[in-house]
Amino acid sequence: MSVDVDKAMADLRSKVESMPGAENKLTMVVMSGELDKHLAAMIIATGAAAMGMKVILFFTFWGTAALRAADKKGRGKNFMGKMFGMMLPKGRNKLVLSKMNMAGMGTAMLKGLMKKKNVASLDQLYEVAAQLAVKIYICEMSMDLMGMKKEEMIDYPDLEVCGVATMLSHAKESAIQFFI
């Protein structure tokens, strides 16, 4: 019996290339809305991009509030949307710690320590993320649920609204998946 080696090789190659986790890519779901968890997410994201990985961030639920711009407003919100808008932090610089916040004292203290120890702030990390072409997706349903509008989100070079399938297709191709 003769075997077509070229065909077998081509089949094998296409199989390997379509295997889950075959790409040098990291997909991270950012669900939490607290400062400490966002710091972790952005340090991992920028670190992975520095390691040469393609990085995909999917912001959902409480995470979406971190992407609001401090100086922008969403128009045409209903009552519930306005309430959510008031209750949720308006952007990354309004996030507080998940533990030891102590009515804002803990968060202020940590920010002071970070400055003293020259640890990059969220502002700096977003700037680096943009330079390293980290992709940010925002969950469409979370935004809709909380009445957020795309127009009130930060200016970021690669920011898109999407659904769960987009994130999952990236996650399937990614060598690493994280959830914060």
Partner 1 sequence: MPDYTVSKTLDYKGLACPMPVVKISQQIGTVAVGDVIEVHTTDPGSLSDFPAWAKTTGHAILETRQEPGLIKIFVKRQK
Rule CB under 8 A: say whether 49 interacts with partner 1: yes
- DSSP-based three-state secondary structure for 35: helix
Q: Which of 59, 67, 54 is CA-nearest to residue 134?
A: 54
Shortest distance in whole angstroms from residue 83 CB to partner 1 = 37
Q: Which is nearer to partner 1, 75 or 117 (CB)?
A: 117
C-alpha span between 21 and 171 (Å, rounded): 8
C-alpha span between 131 and 162 (Å, rounded): 22
Rule CB under 8 A: say whether 43 interacts with partner 1: yes
Q: Are the C-beta atoms of residues 164 and 14 closer than 8 Å to each other?
A: no
Residue numbers 62-81 binding partner 1 by CB under 8 A: none
Number of chain residues interacting with partner 1 (CB under 8 A): 14
Shortest distance in whole angstroms from residue 121 CB to partner 1 = 11
Q: Which is nearer to partner 1, 128 or 143 (CB)?
A: 128
C-alpha span between 121 and 43 (Å, rounded): 10
Shortest distance in whole angstroms from residue 89 CB to partner 1 = 24
Tokens 């809709």 belong to residue: 144
Q: What is the binding site for partner 1 (CB under 8 A)?
A: 43, 46-47, 49-52, 117-120, 128, 131-132
